[in-house]
Amino acid sequence: MEVVVLRMGHRVGRDKRISTHVGLVARAFGARGIIYAGTIEPSVIETLKKVVETWGGPFIVEVKPSYKAIISEWKKTGGIVVHLTMYGENIESSDVLEKIRNSGKVMVIVGAEKVSADLYELADFNVAIGNQPHSEVAALAVFLDRLFKGEELLKEFEGARLKINPSSRGKHVVKIDE
Ligand SMILES: C[S@@+](CC[C@H](N)C(=O)[O-])C[C@H]1O[C@@H](n2cnc3c(N)ncnc32)[C@H](O)[C@@H]1O
């Protein structure tokens, strides 16, 4: 399944760290890439590209001006759009995840402080990771983990310079020669 994350509503100056974390979670939890809609500090993009260089990919990082154009392009190629929101169908009590799994291409949208009202209509599914307010980072991680049933945690990243050998004590990092 091809999954791309769309981050909306980034506030320059305020959301730098959390928008970086949205990107890190997207990569680590199995998405193919992240698109930031609107304006974002170049350092967010640089940080994510450095992580891909060091820890591997593939993982695409893009910035595009209009979320409407991004969503419309995605739908034209047969993809579905999932908007994560506390107001949506509860992922635990509904069959929304099963419906989403029927698609081969999923765009997952997470917002910042407040998202545009039209998003609730543009999305094919509005999904709540519980109907309580929390965080886009937590919502994205839980959603992707459930979508991929935990298998994304075993993913082997390509082209990495460093790799961790899991251990019960200390840090075991291996340098990979090209
Ligand atoms: C600071 S929250 C804003 C909460 C917002 N009022 C909402 O609709 O979920 C920022 C983002 O976190 C995500 N989020 C927060 N709580 C969520 C929840 N319970 N379920 C799904 N997504 C959530 C949404 O993507 C939201 O746009």
Contacts of residue 137, defined as CB under 8 A and 6 or more positions apart, other chains included, come to 18, 21, 22, 25
pTM exceeds cut of 0.95: yes
* pLDDT tens for each residue of 93-147: 999 999 999 999 999 999 998 899 999 999 999 999 999 999 999 999 999 999 9
Indicate which atom in ligand 1 lies nearest the CA of residue 87.
Answer: 8
Ligand 1 pocket, CB under 6 A:
84-87, 110-113, 115, 128-130, 132-136, 139
pLDDT given at position 114: 86
| Residue 60 one-letter amino acid | I
Q: pLDDT band at 71, cuts 50/70/90?
A: very high
Quote the Cα angle for 153-154-159, to 5°.
105
Structure-block tokens of residue 112: 């910042």
Q: Could you tell me which residues are beta bridge partners of residue 174?
A: 163
For residue 112, what pLDDT is reported? 94
Among protein residues, the one with the nearest Cα to ligand 1's atom 10 is 112
Check if the beta carbon of residue 89 is closer than 8 Å to that of residue 98.
Answer: no
- For 2-175, CATH number out of 3.40.1280.10, 3.40.50.300, 3.40.50.1820, 3.30.70.2860 equals 3.40.1280.10
Residues in the chain: 178
Report H helices in the chain: 16-28, 42-55, 67-76, 96-101, 119-122, 136-147
pLDDT surpassing 80 at residue 178: no
Residue 84 Cα, ligand 1 centroid: separation in angstroms? Answer: 6
The residue ranges of every structural domain in the chain are 2-175
Q: Is the dihedral of CA 6, 135, 101, 30 positive or negative?
A: positive
Distance, CA 154 to ligand 1 centroid (Å)? Answer: 27
